[in-house]
């Protein structure tokens, strides 16, 4: 026998005693788990289903190939009727909604013609009748920032070729004063109208003519081109355009409309975000509802609450107060102008990209005054709380290691390391629009809450 | 308040860098607002909204520096812009620590470790389970040094391990020798044909040190934890360990060291051992047997002559009748001494008593309340290590007890153990020898002799050096043995020879060692 490597977790004294024998020692920097989690950790880790359930969840997640197959009005794709509104994050009422969420709902109400003027919308929503509010996540959909979707807006249709499962996401409006950041001025509504009347149909004809676009494969390329697919989607946007432009030109769309659509897409570095998000959701949805699995399948914020869903606990949301991002501000805006964290876009981090793939997009780390080593460290740190690496999505600078994938509630509670999310910041006041961008983490307490629910389910299996 | 707008044609920096530069310049004293940005349509809108007047011909390939100054001079503000731009373009100076942070969980460490890596867990007992499970699930053997690990956790680990051919050593496993590496408190022994499977830490150390002294080496010492042979655990790890040694070509004989197992488990393990090719010798602590005699039996089966176990110093008699005071750091050594003493002296009171009615309260031990009984204390017991290191590392409590025993006129003899090896105190004799000398001097002042008997568990190759430690202790007046059984028997002789009236009383009481605990 040759001397094995010894991995030591605990007192340095015992590690030193091994090292004194000229043996290779790897020390774990162990620290106590999050307060109050020791007993629940013991129960969940003893759950005889856990290891296999997590393996199954990971396999299901990795088995999905997301393809853009169509572009449709939301009413048609999602069965929404007049007065039905989807929003980002866990469920929320008008009363508890933040400024940007209210602003987006006001704009959407005006856009749908429910109110003549967006400023009349608060009275409409306060009346409590004539509308429904529900999370996009409850409709196989996701939306960035406020994530408000109403029937007349158009959505991307993403499909898993193997199972036919579908997810949906609105079309990205660009940066600055836009509905998803809570702006609802006439220019915002005019742009939305153009997107529904021109952009949506142009893209629909192109996608139907060009055939499915493999979004999963495109994400793999983006990650090798400096995009982390949350705050940086430049390469992905241009690749999409490259794939669709010939079909756009050959289609029956008017040449002027095609030119406008191409200019709009090409001029909006974030256009691909709205494809990355539903692709991530499609893969994560495949990992849902596996009893015993501790894998997080959704992280989402509505501007008031941050919520997560876990594979082994069904549709239950675990929520806590959304935090304000730490970052840089546009113009003369400052921290006092920023709304707490908002949007379904944390689905990208849940799927192992965005903040988790920071190493591949070092520019993003500068949003908080960080450095390239910080970016590498962040991706490595996310490896501490994830179940596996995604072999399809690799990071050249990390020696082509796969993106850290499948957030494990138990590892978050054990290490206290919170998922790192790259995000935009919306103005606190309805109608403001974007005020900055930065980095944010979930409220820590939602992970022990999810762990407690997992322990509750596991207990009969452990003691029985 | 004055506004200044400068256009730098052809200058470029990415938007994130420029946001950072703007933030920095805006923080310069006397600067009210600052915006350094490429002149894209969006940024021009932002600048206009801020009230800056930007020349109409400015385009996306130009950099705009817009400053609103309170009382700073334009010169200072522009210098701040230059500095911030230069700073943003400079590579960061780092020691690289951020990218090479150590792993935070056992699972993370094992992702990058070789396939045969062995895990040693010594975090607080309540948190040992997740770390050990990481090892089991990744297919790595694990030694759990931690104590206070719940029984359910041990069961979950060992059941998961059984299906994966993984060995769980522990919990509360003090020593192991795996692939030639000593883990925990481990003696340096020569390699050889004997494999040890042990539910007892210091018991293992006694056996391997005696084998080493007889010139017989050890292939491996696999701890299984003190509860493994209980009815609840049923010897799950013992089976795996025996199978490992059976498959190991370097092992030609196995010794199983344990306190008395649950009878049905003992039977099952014995029949399992019979099914193996390798012969298994049982060294079970019980009334009428001891680790030294079991080790001698192993030597005989190997055809090796049993040596005279080494000892140093001179015997000494007690000056009058009194009690035996055993002060131990090794739980199994304490157990073995109590079993031997109970045969001769009758009841021995202890914090790890052989029968419940002999229990000594922790408070009595730490406060030093005189006890009018024969007494043996295990300073390594859980209750005496709460919030402090094991006495093999921190000898404070035992030294205080030694000093009190010296002052107690009812003390007939003091029996101590000293355990050498990796992980233990670097030079226990350096503090214990003067303490022994001082204790004896204290007794002498009161006109009493204080015989001190020491069981010294170690090998020549241990970092502390067996001879050096023994000689230092003997020079202080201790009678030093390498066999704990021999040391105990000598101490019993001293007590008996002193003619304590208690000896006959104890014989009448017909107390026998049941081998049971609390």
- Tell me whether residues B103 and A29 touch, CB distance under 8 A: yes
- Average model confidence (pLDDT) across chain A: 95
Q: Is the Cβ–Cβ distance between A68 and A153 less than 8 Å? A: no
Which of B49, B64, B99 best probes binding to A when mutated, by most A CB atoms within 10 angstroms? B99
Q: Is the Cβ–Cβ distance between B391 and B397 less than 8 Å? A: yes
Domain boundary among B301, B326, B356: B301
CA distances (Å), A442 to each of A89, A311, A355, A359, A452, in order?
12, 18, 12, 20, 17
Q: Which residues of B touch A374 (CB under 8 A)?
A: 98
Considering only CB atoms, B121 lies closest to which of A10, A364, A367, namely A10
Backbone angles phi, psi at A293, to 5 degrees: -80, 135
Give residue B24's Cα distance to chain centre.
Answer: 51
Collapsing DSSP to helix, strand or coil, B333 comes out as: helix
- The alpha carbon of residue B129 is apart from the nearest alpha carbon of chain A, in Å, by 7
Residues A265 and A310 in one domain: no
CA-based nearest residue in chain B for residue A435:
B46
Q: Which residues of B touch A41 (CB under 8 A)?
A: 127, 129-130
CA-based nearest residue in chain A for residue B15:
A363
Residues B208 and B72 in one domain: no
- The alpha carbon of residue B213 is apart from the nearest alpha carbon of chain A, in Å, by 21
For residue A387, the domain's CATH number is 3.90.1700.10
Q: Is residue A361 part of a domain?
A: yes
Q: Is residue B103 part of a domain?
A: no
Residues B274 and B316 in one domain: no
Q: Which residues of B touch A10 (CB under 8 A)?
A: 120-123, 131, 145-146
Q: Measured in Å, how far apart are chain A's first and last C-alpha atoms?
A: 41
CA distances (Å), A273 to each of A70, A233, A269, A276, B416, in order?
16, 6, 9, 5, 72
CA-based nearest residue in chain B for residue A174:
B42
Residues B77 and B154 in one domain: no
Residues B370 and B497 in one domain: yes
Backbone angles phi, psi at B71, to 5 degrees: -130, 10
CA-based nearest residue in chain B for residue A27:
B102
E strand map for A311-397 = 318-321, 326-329, 342-343, 386-395
Report the distance separating Cα B323 and Cα B412, nearest Å. Answer: 5
Report the distance separating Cα A168 and Cα A156, nearest Å. Answer: 5
Domain boundary among A254, A278, A302: A278
- Tell me whether residues B106 and A9 touch, CB distance under 8 A: yes
The sign of the torsion formed by the CA atoms of B493, B495, B496, B502 equals negative
Report the distance separating Cα A14 and Cα B178, nearest Å. Answer: 15
- Tell me whether residues B104 and A28 touch, CB distance under 8 A: yes
pLDDT at A175 over 90: no
Q: Is residue B129 part of a domain?
A: yes
Residues A51 and A25 in one domain: no
A330 closest CA partner among B17, B46, B4, B41: B46
Residues B261 and B336 in one domain: no
Please give the tally of structural domains in chain A: 3
CA distances (Å), B208 to each of A337, B217, B299, B421, B425, in order?
71, 8, 12, 12, 19
Residues B362 and B285 in one domain: no
- Average of pLDDT values for A202-211? 96
What pLDDT sits at residue A112? Answer: 98
Q: Is residue B377 part of a domain?
A: yes
Residues A83 and A226 in one domain: yes
- Average model confidence (pLDDT) across chain B: 88
**Percent above pLDDT 90 for chain A:** 88
Q: Is residue B236 part of a domain?
A: yes
Q: Is the Cβ–Cβ distance between A185 and A431 less than 8 Å? A: yes
- Average of pLDDT values for B74-90? 84
Q: What is the pLDDT of residues A123-171, one digit of tens each?
A: 999 999 999 999 999 999 999 999 999 999 999 999 999 999 999 999 9
For residue A224, the domain's CATH number is 3.90.1710.10
Q: Is residue B444 part of a domain?
A: yes
Q: Which residues of A touch B47 (CB under 8 A)?
A: 331
A85 closest CA partner among A47, A115, A117: A115
CA-based nearest residue in chain B for residue A386:
B108
Q: Is residue A178 part of a domain?
A: yes
pLDDT at A389 over 60: yes
Q: Is residue A201 part of a domain?
A: yes
- Tell me whether residues B105 and A28 touch, CB distance under 8 A: yes
What pLDDT sits at residue B294? Answer: 94
Q: Is the Cβ–Cβ distance between B174 and B202 less than 8 Å? A: yes
Tokens (6 digits) for A372? 């390239």
Q: Is residue B514 part of a domain?
A: no
Q: Is residue A40 part of a domain?
A: no
What pLDDT sits at residue A369? Answer: 59
Backbone angles phi, psi at A67, to 5 degrees: -125, 135
Residue B486 pLDDT class (50, 70, 90 cuts): very high
Residues A94 and A113 in one domain: yes
Q: Which residues of B touch A30 (CB under 8 A)?
A: 104-105, 123, 127, 131
For residue B34, the domain's CATH number is 3.30.70.100
Of residues B509 and A174, more confidence is placed in A174
Q: What is the pLDDT of residues A28-37, one digit of tens each?
A: 999 899 999 9
Q: Which residues of A touch B99 (CB under 8 A)?
A: 373, 376-377, 380
Report the distance separating Cα B35 and Cα A329, nearest Å. Answer: 10
- Tell me whether residues B181 and A417 touch, CB distance under 8 A: no
Backbone angles phi, psi at A316, to 5 degrees: -65, 135
What pLDDT sits at residue B372? Answer: 82
Please give the tally of structural domains in chain B: 3
Collapsing DSSP to helix, strand or coil, A7 comes out as: strand
Which of the 8 DSSP states describes residue B324? E
What pLDDT sits at residue B369? Answer: 74
- Average of pLDDT values for B143-150? 91
- Tell me whether residues B129 and A14 touch, CB distance under 8 A: no
Domain boundary among B276, B301, B326: B301
Among A residues 367-406, those touching chain B with beta carbons less than 8 Å apart: 367, 369, 371-374, 376-377, 380-381, 383-384
Residues B411 and B499 in one domain: yes
A32-36, A364-368, B22-26, B88-92: which is most confident:
A32-36
* ipTM (interface predicted TM): 0.91
- Average of pLDDT values for B25-45? 86
Among A residues 199-258, those touching chain B with beta carbons less than 8 Å apart: none
- The alpha carbon of residue A38 is apart from the nearest alpha carbon of chain B, in Å, by 7
- Tell me whether residues B94 and A373 touch, CB distance under 8 A: yes
Instruction: Give the Cβ contact number of residue B218 at 10 Å.
Output: 25
Considering only CB atoms, A23 lies closest to which of B122, B124, B181, namely B181
Q: Is residue A78 part of a domain?
A: yes
Owning domain of residue A11: 1-30
Q: Which residues of A touch B154 (CB under 8 A)?
A: none
| In the block, residue with structure tokens 């996401």 | A169
- Tell me whether residues B33 and A13 touch, CB distance under 8 A: no
Q: Is residue B104 part of a domain?
A: no
Q: How many CA atoms are closer than 13 Å to the CA of A17, on its beta-carbon side?
A: 31
Domain boundary among B301, B326, B357: B301
Q: Is the Cβ–Cβ distance between B460 and B427 less than 8 Å? A: no
Residues A251 and A335 in one domain: no
- Average of pLDDT values for B20-24? 84
Residue A48 pLDDT class (50, 70, 90 cuts): very high
CA distances (Å), A293 to each of A150, A328, A450, B301, B510, in order?
34, 37, 12, 53, 59
Residues A84 and A173 in one domain: yes
- Tell me whether residues B19 and A14 touch, CB distance under 8 A: no
- Tell me whether residues A7 and B181 touch, CB distance under 8 A: no
Of residues A366 and B196, more confidence is placed in B196
- DSSP-H helix ranges across A195-272: 200-210, 215-223, 234-250, 255-266
CB pairs under 8 A between A and B: 200
Q: Is residue B52 part of a domain?
A: yes
Cβ-proximal residues to A306 (8 Å cutoff; 6+ apart), any chain: A89, A299, A300, A319, A320, A321, A322, A323, A341, A442, A443, A446
pLDDT at B16 over 70: no
B229 closest CA partner among B240, B241, B238, B220: B238
| In the block, residue with structure tokens 């201790």 | B478
Residues B154 and B77 in one domain: no
What pLDDT sits at residue A11? Answer: 84
Q: Is the Cβ–Cβ distance between B50 and A329 less than 8 Å? A: no
Of residues B426 and B392, more confidence is placed in B426
Residues A304 and A447 in one domain: yes
**HEC letters along A262-295:** HHHHHCCCCCCHHHHHHHHHHHHHCCCCCCCCCE
Is the omega angle on the peptide bond into residue B7 within 30 degrees of 0, that is, cis?
Answer: no
What pLDDT sits at residue B513? Answer: 37
- Tell me whether residues B19 and A328 touch, CB distance under 8 A: yes
pLDDT at A232 over 60: yes
Report the distance separating Cα A245 and Cα A432, nearest Å. Answer: 33
Q: Which residues of A touch B114 (CB under 8 A)?
A: 4-5
For residue B195, the domain's CATH number is 3.40.50.261
- The alpha carbon of residue A244 is apart from the nearest alpha carbon of chain B, in Å, by 26
Residues A235 and A114 in one domain: yes
Q: Is residue A419 part of a domain?
A: yes
What pLDDT sits at residue B93? Answer: 46
Residues A232 and A324 in one domain: no
Collapsing DSSP to helix, strand or coil, B301 comes out as: helix
Report the distance separating Cα B287 and Cα B513, nearest Å. Answer: 7
A331–B contact, CB cutoff 8 A: yes
What pLDDT sits at residue A368? Answer: 59
- Tell me whether residues B181 and A28 touch, CB distance under 8 A: no
Residues A324 and A416 in one domain: yes
Report the distance separating Cα A419 and Cα A109, nearest Å. Answer: 34
Residues B126 and B237 in one domain: yes
Residues B210 and B174 in one domain: yes
Residues A185 and A334 in one domain: no
Owning domain of residue B450: 311-509
Which of the 8 DSSP states describes residue B421? S
DSSP letter for each residue of A151-182: TTSEEEEEEETTT--EEEEEPP--SSS-GGGT
Q: What is the pLDDT of residues A54-75, one digit of tens each?
A: 999 999 999 999 999 999 999 9
Which of B91, B92, B127, B389 best probes binding to A when mutated, by most A CB atoms within 10 angstroms? B127
The sign of the torsion formed by the CA atoms of A360, A366, A369, A371 equals positive
Residues A131 and A263 in one domain: yes
pLDDT at B361 over 90: no
Q: Give the β-pairing of B323-328 and B280-284.
A: unpaired
Q: Is the Cβ–Cβ distance between B292 and B484 less than 8 Å? A: yes
Residues B20 and B92 in one domain: yes
Q: Is residue A437 part of a domain?
A: yes
Q: What is the pLDDT of residues A261-299, one digit of tens each?
A: 999 999 999 999 999 999 999 999 999 999 999 999 999
Residues B149 and B68 in one domain: no
Considering only CB atoms, A10 lies closest to which of B45, B50, B122, namely B122
Work out the burial of residue B508: count CB atoms within 10 Å of its CB; fewer than 13 is exposed, 13-18 middle, 19 or more buried. Answer: exposed
Domain boundary among A278, A306, A335: A278
pLDDT at B56 over 90: no
């Amino acid at each position: 026998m040759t001397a094995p490597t010894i991995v030591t977790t605990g007192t340095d004294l015992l590690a030193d005693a091994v090292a004194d024998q000229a043996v290779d020692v790897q020390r774990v920097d162990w620290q106590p788990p999050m307060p109050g989690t020791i007993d629940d950790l013991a129960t969940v880790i003893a759950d005889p289903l856990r290891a296999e359930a997590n393996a199954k969840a990971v396999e299901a997640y990795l088995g999905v190939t997301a393809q853009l197959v169509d572009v449709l009005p939301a009413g048609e794709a999602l069965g929404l009727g007049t007065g039905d509104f989807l929003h980002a994050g866990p469920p929320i009422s008008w009363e508890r909604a933040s400024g940007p969420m209210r602003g987006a709902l006001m704009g959407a109400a005006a856009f749908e013609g429910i109110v003549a003027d967006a400023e009349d919308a608060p009275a409409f929503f306060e009346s409590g009748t004539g509308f429904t509010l529900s999370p996009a996540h409850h409709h196989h959909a996701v939306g960035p920032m406020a994530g408000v979707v109403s029937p007349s807006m158009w959505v991307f249709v993403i499909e898993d070729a193997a199972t036919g499962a579908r997810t949906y996401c609105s079309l990205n409006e660009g940066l600055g004063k836009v509905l998803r950041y809570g702006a609802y001025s006439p220019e915002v509504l005019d742009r939305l109208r153009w997107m529904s009347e021109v952009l949506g149909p142009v893209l629909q004809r192109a996608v139907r003519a060009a055939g499915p676009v493999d979004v999963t494969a495109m994400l793999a390329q983006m990650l090798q081109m400096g995009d982390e697919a949350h705050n940086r989607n430049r390469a992905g946007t241009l690749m999409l355009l490259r794939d669709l432009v010939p079909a756009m030109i050959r289609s029956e769309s008017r040449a002027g409309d095609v030119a406008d659509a191409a200019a709009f897409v090409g001029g909006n570095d974030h256009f691909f975000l709205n494809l990355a998000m539903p692709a991530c959701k499609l893969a994560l949805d495949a990992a849902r509802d596996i009893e015993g699995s501790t894998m997080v399948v959704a992280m989402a914020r509505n501007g008031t609450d941050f919520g997560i869903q876990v594979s082994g606990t069904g549709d239950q949301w675990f929520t806590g107060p959304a935090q304000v991002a730490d970052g840089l501000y546009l113009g003369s805006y400052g921290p006092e102008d920023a709304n707490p964290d908002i949007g379904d876009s944390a689905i990208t981090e849940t799927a192992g990209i965005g903040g988790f793939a920071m190493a591949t997009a070092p520019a993003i780390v500068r949003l908080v005054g960080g450095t390239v080593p910080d970016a590498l460290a962040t991706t490595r740190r996310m490896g501490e709380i994830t179940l596996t690496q995604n072999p399809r999505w690799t990071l050249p600078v990390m020696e082509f290691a796969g993106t850290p994938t499948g957030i494990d509630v138990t590892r978050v509670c054990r290490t206290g390391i919170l998922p790192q999310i790259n995000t935009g910041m919306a103005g606190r006041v309805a109608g403001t629009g974007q005020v900055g961008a930065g980095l944010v983490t979930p409220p820590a307490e939602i992970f022990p809450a999810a762990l407690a629910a997992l322990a509750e389910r596991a207990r009969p299996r452990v003691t029985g | 308040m004055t506004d200044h707008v400068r256009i730098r044609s052809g200058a470029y920096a990415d938007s994130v860098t420029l946001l950072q530069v703007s933030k920095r310049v805006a923080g310069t004293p006397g600067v009210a607002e600052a915006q350094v940005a490429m002149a894209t349509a969006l940024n021009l809108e932002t600048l206009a909204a801020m009230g800056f007047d930007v020349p109409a011909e400015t385009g996306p390939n130009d950099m705009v520096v817009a400053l609103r100054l309170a009382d700073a001079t334009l010169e200072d503000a522009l210098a701040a812009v230059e500095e911030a731009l230069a700073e943003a373009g400079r590579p960061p100076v780092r020691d690289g620590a951020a990218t090479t942070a150590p792993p935070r969980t056992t699972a993370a460490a094992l992702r990058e470790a070789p396939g045969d890596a062995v895990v040693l867990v010594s975090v607080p007992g309540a948190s040992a389970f997740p770390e050990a499970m990481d090892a089991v699930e990744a297919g790595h053997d694990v030694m759990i040094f931690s104590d206070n690990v719940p029984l359910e956790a041990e069961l979950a680990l060992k059941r998961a391990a059984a299906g994966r051919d993984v060995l769980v050593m522990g919990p509360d496993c003090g020593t192991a020798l795996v692939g030639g590496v000593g883990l925990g408190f481990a003696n340096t022994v020569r390699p050889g044909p004997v494999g040890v499977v042990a539910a007892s830490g210091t018991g293992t150390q006694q056996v391997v040190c005696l084998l080493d002294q007889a010139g017989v080496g050890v292939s491996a010492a696999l701890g299984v934890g003190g509860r493994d042979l209980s009815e609840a655990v049923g010897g799950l790890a013992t089976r795996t360990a025996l199978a490992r040694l059976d498959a190991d070509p370097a092992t030609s004989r196995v010794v199983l060291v344990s306190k008395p197992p649950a009878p049905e488990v003992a039977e099952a393990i014995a029949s399992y051992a019979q099914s193996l090719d390798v012969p298994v010798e049982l060294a079970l602590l019980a009334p009428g047997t001891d680790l030294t005699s079991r080790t001698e039996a192993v030597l005989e089966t190997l055809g090796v002559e049993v040596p005279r176990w080494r000892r140093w110093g001179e015997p000494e008699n007690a000056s009058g009748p009194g009690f035996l005071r055993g002060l131990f750091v090794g739980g199994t050594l304490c157990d073995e001494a109590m079993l031997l003493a109970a045969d001769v002296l009758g009841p021995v009171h202890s914090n790890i008593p052989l029968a419940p009615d002999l229990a000594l309260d922790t408070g009595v031990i730490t406060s030093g309340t005189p006890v009018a009984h024969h007494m043996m204390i295990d300073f390594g017991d859980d209750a005496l290590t709460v919030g402090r290191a094991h006495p093999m590392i921190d000898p404070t409590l035992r030294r205080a007890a030694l000093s009190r025993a010296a002052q107690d006129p009812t003390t007939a003899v003091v029996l101590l153990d000293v355990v050498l090896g990796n992980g233990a105190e670097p030079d226990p004799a350096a503090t214990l020898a003067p303490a022994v000398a001082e204790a004896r001097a204290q007794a002498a002042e009161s006109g009493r002799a204080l015989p001190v008997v020491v069981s010294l568990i170690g090998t020549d190759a241990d970092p502390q050096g067996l001879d050096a430690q023994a000689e230092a202790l003997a020079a202080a007046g201790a009678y030093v043995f390498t066999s704990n059984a021999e040391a105990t028997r000598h101490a019993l002789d001293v007590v008996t020879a002193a003619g304590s009236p208690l000896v006959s009383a104890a014989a009448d009481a017909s107390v026998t060692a049941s081998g049971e605990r609390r």
